[in-house]
Structure 1
């Protein structure tokens, strides 16, 4: 028998020695590395990875946008081969860790639920912010920066002191702050406002300025100035940008448009689409009510339970309302009602059922952050599902805080029975993703091989099949002129080649 093989007892001892958490995080990183290797480049990835990306860099994105960190990231990732998959996996692992760490729910059940919520996010958000390299470089990395900032603030508030920052920490903080402000505009605005609010709050409550918070505030403000000095934003505000638009008009009409968009498109993407997360919220609220028992009056329990049922029912009914253009605006704006129900439910449940003052503060802060992040999206166009990746991640933190309260209130039974169930569903979902993207990757490779074989045979026109599971990839096919050109440039195909995607 090979002496290097470990017996079950030795393996169990090794896992305990290394720490189950470390083993889980390594396993998550490896699993996502394998999955990310199957993600195909698509849409604007083909532009960034070709000479178009180099042309954008040659002007340092002048009159393009001020997402300098995100732009540089996608330029590198589209040219990095398998290393791009490692970056995706590392980012996902870091996000899952920070979500459970912020909620202080670093348990097997906590990690299982956080992983399930991540891989079970709305498919439109998933394909645009995780699978699509161009989206990942801006939205996923921006969300990671938000979580890092929140963790720094939490540690500073809870354990901070008057000590001065060391040179290395100070320089590192400034660099991280500036870079964090150079991914997404609404995230930049959130970070600036949140950092200034925290710095002021710290001064008022603690009687002195936090050196760390002040450093973050200055760095984020500098990054915001750098971002918004790009000419693209002035053009967007003036209606001169063909892609980005900012509604800078005033008056009653502007207010009505803002309210309509907030209640329809923004609320739909912010809340209604999050089916799995919404179910998790309602289940945890129910668990808290059961665990609370006589501590909560019958009237309060019925009120909270009713809110939860109405909220979940409304979101399930409205889930596909955005696909029905003929639906009256008055009905579409029920998504706004669902958003208010969620916020109201979270506030009421936290006030009545969450015993820890610290956890109550976390839920209130996260809810406020979600509103602050979503606010700017009411006045800009276009607004896509990927814009709501950072808010989804913050809502994950809220769910994990509720889970922490449930496990403390209900005892070990919740973890003992919940962990294997949630972990099994998470593993099954991950396995399904692997199968889907393996099929997509094989089809993508075969399609490119077919095109090249036809070109070598002298063909000037090639018919190609669309990729399978098209809903899992953002702009998977070179189906119109602009994307067609980018596809050919990225893959080194003749520019005069005519590609036709079959219906």
Structure 2
């Protein structure tokens, strides 16, 4: 038994290293785009010299961006490490030791929408804030996962000391993660006290540190401008009531980023919840039988709505786009609530029920602050997406432990699907790298020929990159010239697609 565990551990270790190499390769092939060029020139350093005054409180995220836009090898390394970490840490939290589960985690993380991938994994600025914030949350959950065990948690002195930089540092990347970390810290303390009837130093020190970090972030003058309406980009709509505001945001855009656009993830959520209902939904009272059947209908239909009804058949019940969005928002909410109440109503193991419910509630709670500050994009939901993946991984570990699932029977399709995405991304980003080199060679050749109007070729697979086309005219195009030391007197123009 011990030898088997050691072998599984070695396999996960090798898997982690290979995933690191894969993300290292992707980062090497990914060009800097959009405001990466701004961060990589003097304008970026000026923000640092000003202490990011009235810019934002993402101090660590901003510093990370300054470094990775200047030091290529460090960008490749850190994006490789964090890319692998976002796949592997959920395995450690869920205590998953089987290679099949590891490949499922990789498949789900690669299964994000192209918009989410382009604005997080494939964009230095997005990575510097959103992926780093996600890893900080996962590291905290990895440490406190023992509150869901039956045995009293214990933490070394070194972990208690580590709680200070972790708590403060986690707060200085992105705002909604900052708010969530305070919520998570408070939940862990309250739940641990209710379960074990004692407080733990690590929990207390982390929450205090998180509160300090939150104060540091939100003391930046940028947030005063946002709340007073002086910010030209981020705004808080004060014309609506709070509930009207929440409904408006969720029914127009948030439901897409949070739930509907996650096509592969939704299929996985539905399959695992249906399987759970089948396995544990026995010997039930009549009302629960009805609820179970209704849940299974919802779980069966919803995942097909976006890829089949919307994308493939292009059907819509309403001609009015606003009404269609409202309908989609409601059925997306129904899908989420079905998953949540599948755990609450049908799951028997109390500690695991709390753990799984916590991940599901966290996925929504961490997105909550986005109701009040606009605009936002899919990158803001990478943390929510990761919580859903963690939920799936933890549920699969439970199935394996209870012998509901024979991993050998499903290992081939899971590993095949995962490797298919790996190969696809590998080819896509190899072509992106080649086209980026070709673009820069073309620009230099035109300059050497004395041309004053230089055509900038588009990159391959633009949807996997964040704003790789120059905004002409605009300051991003000017910063592009500065970043690549191009002559100031040339005029850039985009080649037609």
Q: Same fold (TM over 0.5)?
A: yes
Matched, 1:430 2:422: yes
Q: Is the contact between residue 366 and residue 384 of structure 2 (CA under 8 Å) also seen in structure 1?
A: yes
Partner residue of 2:454 out of 437, 462, 469? 462
Q: Is the contact between residue 39 and residue 441 of structure 1 (CA under 8 Å) also seen in structure 2?
A: yes
Partner residue of 1:129 out of 120, 125, 132? 120
Could you say which residue in structure 1 is the equivalent of 2:109?
A: 118
Query: How far does residue 457 in structure 1 lie from its aligned partner after superposition?
Result: 2.7
Q: Is the contact between residue 65 and residue 230 of structure 1 (CA under 8 Å) also seen in structure 2?
A: yes
> For residues 412 and 189 of structure 1, what CA distance do their matches in structure 2 show?
37
Partner residue of 2:79 out of 65, 74, 88? 88
> For residues 259 and 191 of structure 1, what CA distance do their matches in structure 2 show?
24
2:463 match: secondary structure: helix
Could you say which residue in structure 2 is the equivalent of 1:491?
A: 484
Q: Is the contact between residue 263 and residue 336 of structure 1 (CA under 8 Å) also seen in structure 2?
A: yes
Count of aligned pairs: 484
Q: 1:163 to 1:384 in 2, by over 3 A?
A: closer
1:373-425 deviation digits (Å, cap 9, x = unpaired):
11111111111010000000001011112322333455453x11211111111
Could you say which residue in structure 2 is the equivalent of 1:10?
A: none
Q: Is the contact between residue 115 and residue 426 of structure 1 (CA under 8 Å) also seen in structure 2?
A: yes
Q: 1:486 to 1:160 in 2, by over 3 A?
A: farther
Which is further off, 294-303 or 493-502?
Answer: 294-303
> For residues 206 and 225 of structure 2, what CA distance do their matches in structure 1 show?
29
TM-score after normalising by structure 1? 0.89
1:499 match: secondary structure: strand
> For residues 393 and 48 of structure 1, what CA distance do their matches in structure 2 show?
27
Query: How far does residue 20 in structure 1 lie from its aligned partner after superposition?
Result: 1.2
Query: How far does residue 251 in structure 1 lie from its aligned partner after superposition?
Result: 5.6
Q: Is the contact between residue 152 and residue 196 of structure 2 (CA under 8 Å) also seen in structure 1?
A: no
Q: Is the contact between residue 147 and residue 188 of structure 2 (CA under 8 Å) also seen in structure 1?
A: no
Q: 1:451 to 1:118 in 2, by over 3 A?
A: same
Q: Is the contact between residue 284 and residue 406 of structure 1 (CA under 8 Å) also seen in structure 2?
A: no
- Gaps in structure 2 of 5+ consecutive residues: none
Query: How far does residue 240 in structure 1 lie from its aligned partner after superposition?
Result: 0.9
1:335-358 deviation digits (Å, cap 9, x = unpaired):
332332233222232245544323
Matched, 1:182 2:172: yes
Query: How far does residue 292 in structure 1 lie from its aligned partner after superposition?
Result: 4.3
Matched, 1:261 2:249: yes
Q: Is the contact between residue 91 and residue 97 of structure 2 (CA under 8 Å) also seen in structure 1?
A: yes
Could you say which residue in structure 2 is the equivalent of 1:153?
A: 144
Matched, 1:275 2:263: yes
> For residues 267 and 229 of structure 1, what CA distance do their matches in structure 2 show?
31
1:392 match: secondary structure: helix
Query: How far does residue 150 in structure 1 lie from its aligned partner after superposition?
Result: 1.8
Q: Is the contact between residue 302 and residue 335 of structure 2 (CA under 8 Å) also seen in structure 1?
A: yes
RMSD: 2.6
> For residues 166 and 194 of structure 2, what CA distance do their matches in structure 1 show?
26
> For residues 10 and 155 of structure 2, what CA distance do their matches in structure 1 show?
34
Could you say which residue in structure 2 is the equivalent of 1:397?
A: 390
Partner residue of 2:209 out of 207, 219, 223? 219
Query: How far does residue 25 in structure 1 lie from its aligned partner after superposition?
Result: 1.0
Q: 1:356 to 1:108 in 2, by over 3 A?
A: farther
Could you say which residue in structure 2 is the equivalent of 1:3?
A: none
Q: Is the contact between residue 116 and residue 382 of structure 2 (CA under 8 Å) also seen in structure 1?
A: yes
Written as runs of structure 1 = structure 2, the 5 A alignment for 1:288-437 is 288-292=276-280, 294-295=282-283, 299-316=290-307, 317=309, 327-351=320-344, 353-409=346-402, 411=404, 413=406, 415-437=407-429
TM-score after normalising by structure 2? 0.90
2:367 match: secondary structure: helix
- Gaps in structure 1 of 5+ consecutive residues: 1-12
> For residues 183 and 432 of structure 1, what CA distance do their matches in structure 2 show?
31
